[in-house]
Amino acid sequence: MALLEVSQPYDFDLSLDRFTFWGVDRANVWRDGGLHRVVDGREVRITAADGGVQVEPFDAAIEPVVRKLLGLELDLPPFLEFAQDDPVLAEAVRRFPGFRPPLAPDPFEALVSSITAQQVSLHSAFAVRSRFIDRFGIAAEHAAGFPTRERVAVATEDELTELGFSRRKAEYVLGIARVDLDFDELSTLPDDEVKARLTTLRGLGEWSADWFLARHLARPEAWPAGDLGLRKAVLAFYPETTDVRAAGVRFHPFQNLSAHYLLAALRYR
């Protein structure tokens, strides 16, 4: 067991509540006050601790995954200072002290999850995602590892539709698993180039590309303007807004964190 430091304040339960709010997430399982995630075939337990989180087991392979999962790549202190100049964000920061959005540790996981969530409720998306993980992932004691591209590449459309994917979404997931594209290389590219490459793939539009930038690459200026939840939040808190995408300029250069705080504020309004 090791202590992984997290800049304070940090609210462990609030930050990671997306893994229970819309249903069970088999890749990130809450149990007895801790979050379980499978990393390289080993189940890791993460629990709150003074100054950060306790991680067991912990080594050089596990540390970067946990850091990504906890959103430690997000530069929170400058955003918190920036938020004080916007009454809506200032109130959100006051209401949610210690909130740090989690990230998807794996690029394939991030893209499949975005396809799963297209045009359905997040409750439905989480249910399909969990069945997918149980079917093609490697189960541990409590959680299961998110399926690898290699495992999914040899699956069939029928196997995916049996889990609740539409025929078209099944095609999209298999296409992403089989495509000759280095997803890890995307982390070295500027935002526009990442979006350009992703949107050439069937099933990945601007919405999916924006969320990949936000929830996997932690790009500070990612602004998923096509997201229905974010649109509702912006229009609820800034009723004078006429163009949600253009409204992202007011949150520059912290569009990503602004989006997450606005979504949290709408969820608990």
The pLDDT tens digits of the residues spanning 2-44 come to: 999 999 999 999 999 999 998 999 999 999 999 999 999 999 9
pLDDT given at position 140: 96
The pLDDT tens digits of the residues spanning 97-114 come to: 999 999 999 999 999 999
Q: Is the pLDDT assigned to residue 228 strictly greater than 90?
A: yes
| Token pair of 215 as six digits | 């929830």
> Which amino acid is located at 206 in the chain?
E
Q: Average pLDDT over the chain, rounded to whole?
A: 96
pLDDT given at position 269: 83
Altogether, the residues listed in the chain come to a count of 269
Query: What separation in angstroms does the CA of 220 have from each of 101, 202, 252?
Result: 12, 26, 9
Average pLDDT over residues 247-263: 98
Q: Is the pLDDT assigned to residue 128 strictly greater than 90?
A: yes
Average pLDDT over residues 106-135: 95
d(C-alpha 199, C-alpha 190), whole Å: 14
Q: Is the pLDDT assigned to residue 153 strictly greater than 90?
A: yes
Query: What separation in angstroms does the CA of 69 have from each of 18, 36, 149, 156, 232?
Result: 12, 11, 19, 30, 26
Q: What percent of the chain shows pLDDT beyond 90?
A: 96
pLDDT given at position 184: 86
Greatest extent of the chain over all pairs of C-alpha atoms, in Å = 52
Average pLDDT over residues 194-218: 97
Question: pTM of the full predicted structure?
Answer: 0.95
Quick one: CA dihedral 63, 107, 207, 26, positive or negative? negative
pLDDT given at position 268: 86
